[in-house]
Amino acid sequence: MQNQLDFDGSERQALKDYAEKAYLDYSMYVILDRALPQIGDGLKPVQRRIIYAMSELGLSAGQKHKKSARTVGDVIGKFHPHGDSACYEAMVLMAQPFSYRYPLIDGQGNWGSTDDPKSFAAMRYTESRLRGYAKSLLKELGLGTVDWVANFDGTMEEPVVLPARLPNLLLNGTTGIAVGMSTDVPPHNLNEVASALVHLIDNPKSTADSLMKHISGPDFPTGGELVSPRTEIQKIYESGNGTLRLRASYKKENDDIVINSLPYQISGSKVLEQIATQMRNKKLPLVADLRDESDHEEPIRLVITPKSRKVDVDELMSHLFSTTSLERTVRVNMNIVALDGRPKTFDLVSLLKEWIKFRKATVKNRLEHRLQIVLDRLHVLDGLLIAYLNIDEVIRIIRTEEEPKIVLVKKYSLSEMQVEAILNLRLRNLAKLEEFKITEEQGGLSEERQILELTLKSSARLKTLIKKEILEDAESLGDERRTIIVEREAAQALDETQLVASEPVTVVLSRRGWARSAKGHEVDPLSLSYKSGDEHLASAQGRSNQLAMFIDSSGRVYSCLAYTLPSARGQGEPLSGRFNPPDGAEFCGTMIGELHDRYLLASDAGYGFITKLEDLVTRNKAGKAVLRVAPTGRASVPAPVPRDSKCLIAGVSSIGRLLCFGMGQLPELAKGKGVKLINIPGPKYKSGEEKLVAACVVPNEGKLQVQTANRKMTLKWSDLQSYVGERALRGNLLPKGWRKVEGLKTDMPK
């Protein structure tokens, strides 16, 4: 749709078209002029302008530091008309040794710390100058290497890109968020990248796999460990996308664990806070003490003292890697503005090739620029030599002729450049010695011209020169790798039960479904206080780091760690608030122990089976259906099963029939209805006349306690023989006066 003009001459445009164009223009501005770096020098526009402005201010590595405000003022006043705070932040980032692998700026004052990178002082307080590494970006700036453009107000010029002698983008890395795209390039080691460049120049068909013989992986300024497998690193280098796993490094000093390096951009204080939080919440009993011993000599020194020498250090650290920032993932997205001005995602090979292409063009421009200077100087020297050979005539022409310039041009066939050089000669330069100097200079420049022309004509010579300069810079600026690359198993958080102090506890359940945990095994549940109208129902002894399990009348089992239950000092908490049992269901028993421990589960219909606690574990608040109960029936109180196989299963009905049989007659199941323990006639069960009241396991030579309303009767092992029979029989009646049984109890062996 073409734009229309109103009668007053104003332009009309559809809102859709205007908004679309405005958005696209803004997007391209953000992508190209703010967020994404250029592949040549690896800098964003504001970073490039800061470095250039500092070089113009004479803030080289050998000069005195000057106020940072002076640099920021020059940048925003001459080249970058944006906020001073954003400009200063970009400047600070290039000065922080924990943010940049090879910092470009040397700062004095408070430039932030690893704990808080943005805690730097205001620019009026800090001073700065360029570091030696910045020479690799600026050394060839005035040698015709790069193009120049006018600044924002057209009063001066600035370089489009800095003539980097090294791939700064890969060395220092970068991050940026544009419109619809972002970039995340990790830093690398200079020596490794230089070696890879030389190899790629000699072998243009190299693959990522062959380059990884030189570049083993990213190298972060804060050190640490890169624990991603080599195959994953190679995939990232082949695609330009992926994630890396970084981990802190540690060592053992006597009984302490010393963390001496952290993953990139991770704060030591944050890590300490995360560990301390776990300690406060009693989720890290393996740690006795935690302290920060960092100083100027050791910037990172976090000391962890295990509770005892028996603590497995590797397991503890694996847990901390999993639950704290001691391990983190770093995103890689090598989305960069290519030489053609378009953003593109590069793999390692194409990125290095693109930079080599940039470097070749830069070196070629430098050589051509220098060759032109040499040719111009030789041309001038030819004219000066003619003048010296005819010095008397030249002097006469200059003294007598009104237009000596024109006369000299015609008489000696000189160019305007040569004549200007002759006319600008000083009298003292007319000495005889100058003729020899000219001849000597001609010889040196002629030799240089020959070398330059040969280099420009030969791609092999050009490659050799580039390689030589890369290796020279690597020798002067390179250093050792900081990040160790080692494959590690994935960090594994310790099980919650391993993180809780193991103390003896007694889990108590009331008849109304209130639960609590009392310290120790000497607790008498009957002596505890209960709410009005409530009383003790069941209890079980175990450890605080074990799972406490509860069964409801519908046969569903629920579990939680025992230490999470409220203390027995109070009256506990209702389990209905912690779990979601079916409507009408009531909690009727509790279990606790090792996962391989066994319990007897039974329903009031007289059916039951033995099961392991590990088969009952569930994190579901709705529980796990284990025991199949009749619609109108309910589960009985579970009974622990000793490891002794010579035990007796005892079951008693509501009319006082007691049956004992060998435990071997009862199957071990994970769930189900089970088998018949004692014969309860169907009509009597349906009418409610007779039901199974309780079932328990009597250990070999143990005693069985029969509980009625107000009395307790103890049956010795010899007494129980009168009630022993085959499973599923009716059993024998208890003595008169003991037939209204409310429960069975036996002493479990310790």
Q: Please, what is the angle between helix 348-389 and helix 190-202, to 10°?
A: 80
Residues recognised as catalytic: 125
CA distance linking residue 290 with residue 309, whole number of Å: 16
Quick check: 60 and 188 in contact, CB under 8 A? no
CA distance linking residue 363 with residue 151, whole number of Å: 25
What's the sign of the alpha-carbon dihedral 471, 476, 480, 481?
Answer: negative
In sequence order, the 6+-apart residues with CB closer than 8 A to the CB of 186 are 173, 218, 220, 244, 330, 332
In sequence order, the 6+-apart residues with CB closer than 8 A to the CB of 8 are none
Quick check: 449 and 371 in contact, CB under 8 A? yes
Q: Which two tokens stand for residue 180?
A: 């619809």
Quick check: 207 and 237 in contact, CB under 8 A? no
Q: State the amino acid at position 131 in one-letter form.
A: R
Quick check: 160 and 150 in contact, CB under 8 A? no
- CA-to-CA separations, 337 to 44, 270, 340, 659, in angstroms, rounded: 10, 35, 8, 86
Q: State the amino acid at position 161 in one-letter form.
A: V
In sequence order, the 6+-apart residues with CB closer than 8 A to the CB of 648 are 660, 661, 662, 663, 697, 698, 720, 724
Read out DSSP for 263-294? -TT--HHHHHHHHHHHHHTT--TTEEEEEE--
Read out DSSP for 593-614? S-TT-EEEEEBTTSEEEEEEGG
Quick check: 535 and 511 in contact, CB under 8 A? yes
- CA-to-CA separations, 680 to 605, 677, 684, 704, in angstroms, rounded: 7, 9, 7, 21
**How would you label 261-283 residue by residue, b for 16+ Cβ within 10 Å and e otherwise?**
bbbbbbebeebbeebeebeeeeb
Which helix H or strand E contains 578, and what residues bound it? helix 575-578
Beta-strand relationship, 484-485 and 225-226: parallel
CA distance linking residue 243 with residue 236, whole number of Å: 8
CA distance linking residue 387 with residue 394, whole number of Å: 6
Q: Please, what is the angle between helix 84-93 and helix 45-56, to 10°?
A: 80
Q: What's phi and psi for 380, nearest 5 deg?
A: -65, -40
Q: How many CA atoms lie within 13 A of 309 on its CB side?
A: 3
Q: Which two tokens stand for residue 440?
A: 């000597």
Beta-strand relationship, 249-253 and 256-261: antiparallel
CA distance linking residue 492 with residue 527, whole number of Å: 43
